[in-house]
Structure 1
Amino acid sequence: MVENQPIGVFDSGYGGLTVLREIVQKLPQYDYVYLGDNARTPYGTRSFETVYHYTLECVRHLFDRGCRLVILACNTASAKALRNIQQLDLPTLAPGLDGPGLDGPNRRVLGVIRPTTEVIGNYTKTGQVGILATRGTVSSESYVVEIEKFFPELRVFQEACPMWVPLVENGEYDRPGADYFVRQHLDRLLAQSPDIDTLLLACTHYPLLVNKIRQYVPAETTILSQGGIVADSLADYLLRHPEIERQCSQHGQRTFLTTDSTADFDRQATVFYGEAVRSDMLVL
């Protein structure tokens, strides 16, 4: 048995740190390994095949580090890679690669889309919700399909916001330069229906823009970030799956990995994670 079996959290870059922050606040006792594929970000503009290949490679690495459970804290990876990994790869992973008992069927990979779509209908009064996301997530139609399963009566409107991630990563999220692009995409979304009363920030970078977003939507609009929702869903999942929960080590340890510059990662992580981190570089 591998002694250290952390929960893995994967993202294409920094955004997943906003999810990890909420998970750690909710479940501080567990060990976590965060992997940001910063060398190959952004994922949002890449093909389904490329995102799947990159995501699977990173998931395999987290498995190699002893993770039994991996969270894809990235909407694009959840939209373009999760289903294939769950259905095609987990059942065929050769047992014993990482030690006794670490075979594919005993591993789990979860995403951020399903937890959100399971509850989004509870927040709207008009039955009309707006999805703000990357082009890759919007084009996948993942949110439209998943919301239909849980709340078929809802009307779902989407808007791709390709400039929002660069704004955040270049430190412009709270500066006047962000206003034009924030307002542009919100106006386009609300032009689809004035009755949208719930907005989902379906990219883990977007919570850093929430103060700007609030300036350009009606005051009564509900704005949902995914971190808290995913944290609650993970807590519930571990409660319902004690066989997985028992295998997650509990030493309160945090490990941060990046496929690019550790100095850049550590600097940006302070913004996304809310506290200083020290990362190690991973060469894939």
Structure 2
Amino acid sequence: MTAKGPIGIFDSGIGGLTVFRSIVEKLPAYDYLYLGDNGRAPYGNRSFNTIHQYTWECVQWMFAQGCPLIILACNTASAKALRTIQQNDLPTTHPDKRVLGVIRPTAEVIGDYTKTRHIGVLGTNGTVQSGSYLLEIEHFFPDLKVHQQACPLWVPLIESGDYKNEGADYFVKQYLDELMAQSNDIDTILLACTHYPLLQGKIKAHLPSHIKVVGQGDIVAQSLADYLHRHPEMEQRLAQDRSRQFFTTMDNTAEFDKHASEFFGSIIKSTFTDVRQC
């Protein structure tokens, strides 16, 4: 009988912990392994090939730790690496394992939040330039008008912890103004980066009160629950001892733990790993 393993949660940094927190709240019984590739973050401005290489190295490392199912809790990796991994890499190397992303689950429901049928999407350069949200949302809600805005300085501000400072408000307002200048009809804004929920308070402060700000954590958690219900053969391969493991490619694990604990909502103790050795 095949040994059961944890669900893997991957992000280029610590933003994926906001999704991980929602998943644990929704599905607390399972074992989880989180990997943040902080040593090479941020991914947002890197090329398709580099993001695929980094993501695939991390995925293979997580497979080696026993994860039969991995969630790419990173919009940039989901936009630039997921399709290649699913269509090219897995069938030839790990046909019995699965890797899922965060873009499709979000695209499947985002149209339910808007009345004007105009939505804004805030993301990294990589996510915006990939056009993934435009394609996925068009598939599920062809009547929606999607307005995108890249926010290249937000992830560095969040990863450094400077997002709490008053100076961060300037950059929050700058990108929101650029987004809202695209249309007066926007009534829903999607935070298409798992880092951005930590800026949600500042974001809402610079927007009219009628505009909804939608994060991805609860959406992805519900999608995972639905996936496991539809795929009992995968659900049976998952350990359920409520174990939580945290790994980072940043050699300063104390720095990672300090910031990551804020994202996850409880104290984190991580272990350094070099995924390139896998």
TM-score range, shorter chain: over 0.9
Counterpart of 1:217 in 2: which secondary structure? Answer: coil
- Structure 2 unaligned regions, length at least 5: none
- Give CA-to-partner distance per residue, 1:89-119, whole Å, 9 cap, x none: 11001xxxxxxxxxx2221100000000000
Q: Report the Cα offset of residue 268 of structure 1.
A: 1.0
Residue 266 (structure 1) aligned with residue 257 (structure 2): yes
Q: d(CA) in 1 for partners of 2:203 and 2:247?
A: 31
Q: Match of 2:247? A: 257
Pick which of 47-56 and 3-12 moved more: 3-12
Instruction: Please give the residue correspondences for 1:21-40 in structure 2 after superposition, counting only pairs within 5 Å.
Output: 21-40=21-40
Residue 188 (structure 1) aligned with residue 178 (structure 2): yes
Instruction: Please give the residue correspondences for 1:121-160 in structure 2 after superposition, counting only pairs within 5 Å.
Output: 121-160=111-150
1:216 to 206, 210, 220: 206
Mapped contact 2:42–2:156 kept (Cα < 8 A): no
Q: Report the Cα offset of residue 171 of structure 1.
A: 1.9
Counterpart of 1:119 in 2: which secondary structure? Answer: helix
Q: Report the Cα offset of residue 174 of structure 1.
A: 2.9
Counterpart of 1:105 in 2: which secondary structure? Answer: coil
Q: Match of 2:267? A: 276
Mapped contact 2:121–2:148 kept (Cα < 8 A): yes
Counterpart of 2:84 in 1: which secondary structure? Answer: helix
- Structure 1 unaligned regions, length at least 5: 94-103
Mapped contact 1:174–1:212 kept (Cα < 8 A): no
Q: Match of 2:48? A: 48
Q: d(CA) in 2 for partners of 1:238 and 1:45?
A: 33
Q: Match of 1:96? A: none
Counterpart of 1:146 in 2: which secondary structure? Answer: helix
Q: Report the Cα offset of residue 170 of structure 1.
A: 2.2
Q: How many residues are treated as equivalent by the alignment?
A: 274
- Give CA-to-partner distance per residue, 1:50-69, whole Å, 9 cap, x none: 00000001000111111110
Q: Match of 1:100? A: none
Instruction: Please give the residue correspondences for 1:154-173 in structure 2 after superposition, counting only pairs within 5 Å.
Output: 154-173=144-163
- Aligned-residue RMSD, C-alpha: 0.9
Q: Report the Cα offset of residue 4 of structure 1.
A: 4.1
Counterpart of 1:176 in 2: which secondary structure? Answer: coil
Mapped contact 1:121–1:151 kept (Cα < 8 A): yes
What is the letter of the counterpart of residue 14 of structure 1? I
What is the letter of the counterpart of residue 108 of structure 1? R
Counterpart of 2:95 in 1: which secondary structure? Answer: helix
Q: d(CA) in 1 for partners of 2:273 and 2:134?
A: 35
Q: d(CA) in 2 for partners of 1:68 and 1:170?
A: 32
- Give CA-to-partner distance per residue, 1:221-247, whole Å, 9 cap, x none: 111101111001000100011000011
Mapped contact 1:207–1:225 kept (Cα < 8 A): yes
- Give CA-to-partner distance per residue, 1:166-193, whole Å, 9 cap, x none: 2212223232111111111101000000
What is the letter of the counterpart of residue 24 of structure 1? V
2:192 to 202, 221, 226: 202
Q: Report the Cα offset of residue 264 of structure 1.
A: 1.3
Counterpart of 1:252 in 2: which secondary structure? Answer: coil
Q: Report the Cα offset of residue 2 of structure 1.
A: 4.6
Q: TM-score, normalised by structure 2?
A: 0.97
- Give CA-to-partner distance per residue, 1:245-275, whole Å, 9 cap, x none: 0111100000000011211111111111111
- Give CA-to-partner distance per residue, 1:4-61, whole Å, 9 cap, x none: 4000011001000111010001100000000001110010010000000000010001
Q: d(CA) in 1 for partners of 2:214 and 2:69?
A: 25
Q: d(CA) in 2 for partners of 1:233 and 1:283?
A: 30
Mapped contact 1:2–1:66 kept (Cα < 8 A): no
Identical pairs, percent: 62
Pick which of 42-51 and 267-276 moved more: 267-276
